[in-house]
Amino acid sequence: MSRDPVPAFDAYKHLNLSINPDGSCTRNFEYPIVHPDPSPSPGKLTASKDITINLETGVTVRIFRPTNLPSNDNTIARLPILIHLHGSGWVLYPANSPANSRGCSQMASELTAIIVSVNYRLAPEHRLPTQYDDALEALLWVKRQAVDKTNGEPWLRDYADFSRCYIFGSSNGANLAFQLALRSLDHDLTPLKIDGSVFYQPFYGGKARTKAELKNFADPVMPVPAIDAMWELSLPKGVDRDHRYCNPVGYLPQKEKVGRLGRCLVIGYGGDTLVDHQQDFVEMLVTAGVRVEAKFDDAGFHGIELVDPRRAVALLNMIREFIN
């Protein structure tokens, strides 16, 4: 007897993916690549540029900064840095997608901050922990810009406040953000300082179905079979859904390390298929002694900010309140 409450459907068709014999996938959709705009025309909210941080892997970051930089007494004010890890379901979209570029530009403008968006490699061509490695490399690259007074990236060297760095991740990017926050504890980031982490609708799972997964099994945005497929394509081969990359709650060896994290903000919605896992994640942080602020709205679903401008504004307001 199947444990699933409705007949299985083709998850890969739902995701518009075709799996190739060599383990890669063909993404059967096209989206316009958004190019950076380092010298924006009048009226543009932000400037942006791409920088390759690893020639061997091809990993890049896209930096966004407000077009109009605030100043005090003719001195440009230093801006907080957000290390941004976008949602992609691990497999779907790079950082230069329209939705991510629009969101980062709005975030840089509205928060008056510098956004460093990490264009990490996608699964299944690159399985976890590749994405964690890429995120850490981006963080260490930012740290190097703080100490290289001669050749450091000018937008960071000249405009950034390295003592106010935040990690932000959305969906699987929030999963990435948590692992990056943990890994950052193993490195001397001086003079860079992580002042907090924001986990928006974190993407977690487990072998056992939760109440929300059973209730939202055929959800049009996040159906459970599609979630299963994304984990199947991204987790290391041979591990199950209770592996710590997918389900960190039961991984006891990292509890002491989790307790050393700084301030955390976790945001979620009651209509999200993943909400039970997200609330378990909050409980894990609290139990470990982390200073956590949890904001869960009963109404809303996964990715609602992409289709509801009011929720996008509300999300920015929550982040602004957290970093200020």
* Inter-residue contact 107 to 316 (CB < 8 Å): yes
Does the active-site annotation cover 234?
A: no
Q: Residue 253: what residue type?
A: P
For this structure, is 126 an active site residue? Answer: no
Helix (H) or strand (E) holding 139: helix 130-147
DSSP 2-27: -SSSS----HHHHHTEEE-TTS-EEE
- Is residue 171 flagged as an active site residue? yes
Kindly give the pairing relationship between strand 194-200 and strand 160-170: parallel
Q: What are phi and psi of 316, to 5 degrees?
A: -60, -40
Cis? peptide before 191, omega within 30° of 0: yes
CA-based angle 286:268:59, to the nearest 5? 90
261: three-class secondary structure by DSSP: coil
Rounded to whole angstroms, the Cα distance separating 280 from 260 reads 19
User: How many residues does this entry show for the chain?
Assistant: 324
H or E segment at 319? Answer: helix 309-323
Which residue in 168, 164, 159 sits closest to 202, CA to CA?
Answer: 168
Residue for token pair 């609330």: 279
Catalytic residue among 86, 243, 277, 302: 302
List 48, 97, 171, 197, catalytic entry: 171
Q: From the candidates 84, 272, 276, 277, which is the catalytic residue?
A: 272
Active site residue ranges: 171, 272, 302
